[in-house]
């Protein structure tokens, strides 16, 4: 068994909110696809030795990429929801700890990955997150403000999120079986009584979700390339 950590990359979404011609993980970004930036960025880190990518059954693009023939990348079947895709991919993970990172987050900075991996063995698990910066409002459901929400301890959950593989596999399966809404791995762990660490990360670790996000991601990656010169 290898000594490194395996990363799971859920990449089986259809990108409804992006409304693009191809699923957003296959859009071109700074010379290669969003998915290639995300997966190869993970494999560049010495602590990450394998990546399991969850790919949709109807996916006609993954097989065209070099990733499909990469010796350290395996393919798992995508599921109905993101959590189902992650659970399918976890079946192929042998490392004791696992890191789950959205395919749609190609701007992960190596320093943030280092910071998360520094606490990878914490029993509660850990996620990258960034503090909210705006005043937060709760809507009344009728297009008006119901109340302002104290923001002191409000965070945006990001990815990667890192947990004990066996615990996450069990908790995720139990949460889904119980009908829990699971939009990130931490919410399943919280449901099971865990309190994952919040590791403060960069706000440029955006999830490409809507059309305007692609240009922003391109800007961040170009900035990154210039600072690396
Ligand atoms: N059944 C699904 C749904 C989503 N994802 C992945 O989970 C990540 C975060 O999900 P999101 O940004 O919501 O992607 P989509 O579901 O594709 O977007 P939308 O909700 O707009 O359709 C993405 O990398 C997406 O490919 C997945 O692997 N399996
Ligand atoms: C996992 C995640 O990126 C953390 O913020 C987010 O929950 C994904 O949500 P989505 O609706 O699947 O994009």
pLDDT at 226: 87
pLDDT at 90: 98
pLDDT digits (tens, 9 = 90+) for 92-129: 999 999 999 999 999 999 999 999 999 999 999 999 99
The closest ligand to the CA of 188 turns out to be 2
pLDDT at 143: 98
CB of 85 closer than 8 Å to CB of 52: no
What parts of the chain have a pLDDT lower than 70?
1-3
Question: Is 193 in a helix, a strand, or coil?
Answer: coil
pLDDT at 2: 57
From 35, 38, 82, give the residue whose CB has the most ligand 1 atoms within 8 Å, as the site to mutate.
Answer: 82
As a CATH number, domain 5-227 is 3.90.550.10
CB of 8 closer than 8 Å to CB of 89: yes
Ligand 2: nearest atom to the Cα of 81: 12
CA of 128 to the centre of ligand 2 (A): 12
Ligand 2 site residues, Cβ closer than 6 angstroms: 82, 102, 157-159, 183-184, 207
DSSP letter assigned to residue 196? P
CA of 140 to the centre of ligand 1 (A): 27
pLDDT at 141: 98
Instruction: Identify the H or E element spanning 66.
Output: none
**Domain coordinates of the chain in residue numbers?**
5-227
pLDDT at 227: 85
In the chain, where do the E strands start and end?
5-11, 28-29, 32-33, 48-55, 73-77, 97-100, 126-131, 136-139, 145-149, 155-164, 197-200
Ligand 1 and 133: CB distance under 6 A: no
């Amino acid at each position: 068994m290898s000594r490194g950590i395996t990363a799971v990359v859920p990449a089986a979404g259809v990108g409804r909110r992006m409304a693009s011609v191809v699923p957003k993980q296959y859009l071109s970004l700074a010379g290669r696809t969003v998915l290639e930036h995300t997966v190869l960025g993970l494999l560049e880190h010495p602590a990450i030795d394998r990546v399991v990518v969850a790919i949709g059954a109807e996916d006609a693009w993954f097989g065209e990429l070099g990733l499909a023939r990469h010796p350290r990348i395996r393919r798992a079947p995508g599921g109905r929801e993101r959590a189902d895709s992650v659970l399918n991919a976890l079946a192929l993970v042998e490392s004791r700890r696992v890191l789950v990172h959205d395919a749609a987050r190609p701007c992960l900075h190596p320093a943030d990955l280092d910071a998360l991996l520094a606490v990878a063995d914490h029993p509660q698990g850990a996620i990258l997150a960034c503090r909210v910066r705006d005043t937060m409002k709760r809507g009344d459901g009728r297009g008006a403000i119901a109340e302002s929400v104290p923001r002191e301890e409000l965070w945006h959950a990001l990815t990667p999120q890192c947990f004990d593989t066996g615990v996450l596999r069990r908790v995720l399966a139990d949460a889904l079986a119980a009908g829990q809404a699971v939009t990130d791995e931490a919410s399943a762990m919280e449901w099971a009584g865990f309190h994952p660490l919040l590791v403060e990360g960069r706000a440029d670790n955006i999830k490409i979700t809507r059309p305007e996000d692609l240009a922003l991601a391109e800007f961040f990656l170009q900035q990154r390339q210039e600072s690396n010169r």
